Amino acid sequence: MPERGTMKSKSGISKTMAVLAIIIIVIGIVAAYYILNPYTTITLNGAGATFPEPLIKKWASEYNKLKPSVVINYQGIGSGGGIQQIKEKVVDFAGTDAPVKDEEMTTGYLVHIPETIGAVVVAYNMPGLTGTLKLDGDTIAKIFLGNITKWNDEKIVALNPELSLPDQNIFVAHRSDGSGTTYIFTDYLSRVSQEWANKVGMGKSVDWPVGVGAQGNPGVAGLVSQNPYSIGYMEIAYAYLNNIPYAWIKNEFSGEFIEPTLESVSKAAEGFLEEMKEDVRVSIVNPPHPEAYPIASFTYILLYKEQNVYGARTNFEKSNALLNFIWWVVHEGQEYSETLLYPRLPPEVIVICEELLRSITYNGQPIITS
């Protein structure tokens, strides 16, 4: 028995010793790390819209290569979540597809910086169709209102005289989750159709008169590709990457049918330059530009106009790093847009972004002075 006792206590001591040793070593390593590398990195946190997430993450990693001391995190938690987080002051910037109204800015004025443009295409699935479907705003609104139910409706036939359209019911697919894509699409429909504006209106989720709802771009794409004679809307990059055919949309100012491409979407941003100088939050759907694809909208980065609102969590260096990053985003950062299938900002819009960035202050003093 005594031997067993001593054995036990011996092994007990050695176990405690081992645990203590591990703790001490870990503390030592952490302390050494901080002593040897004085805290020089600046971490910028952002959250919000999922639509620009791949692009913002690309920017973050490229910018980190240029300036290793700046680390940028972005979480695609949705525009609503992003706005909430910047209001609670837990992130340094937020991403949103739909602009924030003045009366909703309860915690300080938020400057909107457009960083890229989102475009929505009207995708369809029509077996045996040779050629591309052409549609105009009023017809799309009537299809999604349920007023047009057949593919060989005279309105669709009139727009597509060279196509032979089948006598089939139209299967309408839409998003069921709240999304910026729905916001852009319903914004466009409200603009081109009075009936849509009165009955349904615009928003990230709406009360759809007809159709079947699916989750996310992949869900709608799945519905459209699964169901013959269907129509749905989705983000341009998604339809492009998945080879889903999409319609050319009539530009109301030139009467031309415009193929959605990165260039034609980018031109949509040039349609409202005067209005944008007044307020950058203006909607750019259905723009008065003859070559523009009409279903497009900016997606924005939100920044506090007065940066010193985070209390002890911020300092001038951090705000400065943040603004330098956003400045880089709207200039050099745009080089990365098209490879990821996002349209570039037109030069005139970049000038507007510069003005907006110069208006941001720290303790009332402008941060960017050049």
Partner 1 sequence: MPPPLLFGKKESKRARKFLSGDSIFKKLTLIFALFILVLFLLIFYELYSGSQLSINKFGLGFLTGVEWDPVHQVFGALPFIYGTVTSSIIALIIAVPISLGIAIYLSELAPRRFRSLLSFMVELLAAVPSVVYGLWGLFVMVPWIRDYLQPFLESTLGFLPLFQGPKFGIGMLAGGIILAIMIIPTISAVSREVMLAVPDTQREAAFALGATRWETIRVAVLKYARTGIFGAILLGLGRALGETMAVIMVIGNRPQISLSLFEPAYTMSGVIASEYIEATQEIYLSALIEIGLLLFIITLIMNVFARLLVWRMMKMFRGAKE
Q: Which residues bind partner 1 (CB under 8 A)?
A: 77-81, 83-84, 98, 104, 169, 171, 176-180, 200-208, 211-215, 219, 222-223, 226-227
Distance in Å, CB of 208 to partner 1, minimum: 7
CA dihedral 291, 292, 293, 294 (to 10 degrees): -130
Residue 76 or 343 with smaller CB distance to partner 1: 76
Query: Considering beta carbons, is residue 226 or 363 the nearer one to partner 1?
Result: 226
Q: Which two tokens stand for residue 134?
A: 């052409």
Classify 367 as helix, strand or coil.
Answer: coil
- Comparison of 219 and 260: residue with beta carbon closer to partner 1: 219
Separation in Å, CA 49 to CA 85, 110, 303, 360, 365? 12, 16, 14, 22, 30
**Residues contacting residue 362 through CB under 8 Å, at least 6 positions apart:** 306, 307, 308, 316, 319, 320
Six-digit token string for 144: 């999604």
Strands 212-214 and 248-250: unpaired
Query: Which of 73/84 has CB closer to partner 1?
Result: 84
Q: Which is nearer to partner 1, 214 or 330 (CB)?
A: 214
Q: Rounded distance, CA 256 to CA 331, Å? A: 32
Q: How far is the CB of 170 from partner 1 (least distance, A)?
A: 11
Q: How far is the CB of 119 from partner 1 (least distance, A)?
A: 19
Nearer Cβ to partner 1, position 81 or 343?
Answer: 81
In the complex with partner 1, the residue whose CB is nearer, 227 or 314, is 227
Shortest distance, CB of residue 48 to partner 1, whole angstroms? 11
Are 231 and 92 a contacting pair, CB within 8 Å?
A: no
**Cβ burial 252-282 (10 Å sphere, 16+ → b, else e):** beeeebbebebebbbbbbbbbbeebeeebbe
- Least distance (Å) from partner 1 to the CB of residue 61? 25
Q: How far is CA 314 from CA 72, 79, 144, 303, 318, in A?
A: 15, 23, 48, 14, 6
What's the min distance (Å) between Cβ of 94 and partner 1?
Answer: 12
Report the nearest approach of partner 1 to the CB of residue 227 (Å).
7
Side chain identity at residue 30, one-letter code: V
Q: Looking at beta carbons only, is 141 or 330 nearer to partner 1?
A: 141
The residue (of 47 and 72) whose beta carbon lies closer to partner 1 is 47
The CB-of-178 to partner 1 minimum distance in angstroms stands at 3
Between CA 66 and CA 60 the distance in angstroms is 10
- Least distance from C-beta 237 to partner 1, angstroms? 19
229: helix, strand or coil: coil
Question: Hunting for tokens 């645990």 — which residue is that?
Answer: 19
Report CA torsion sign: 142, 146, 148, 152: positive
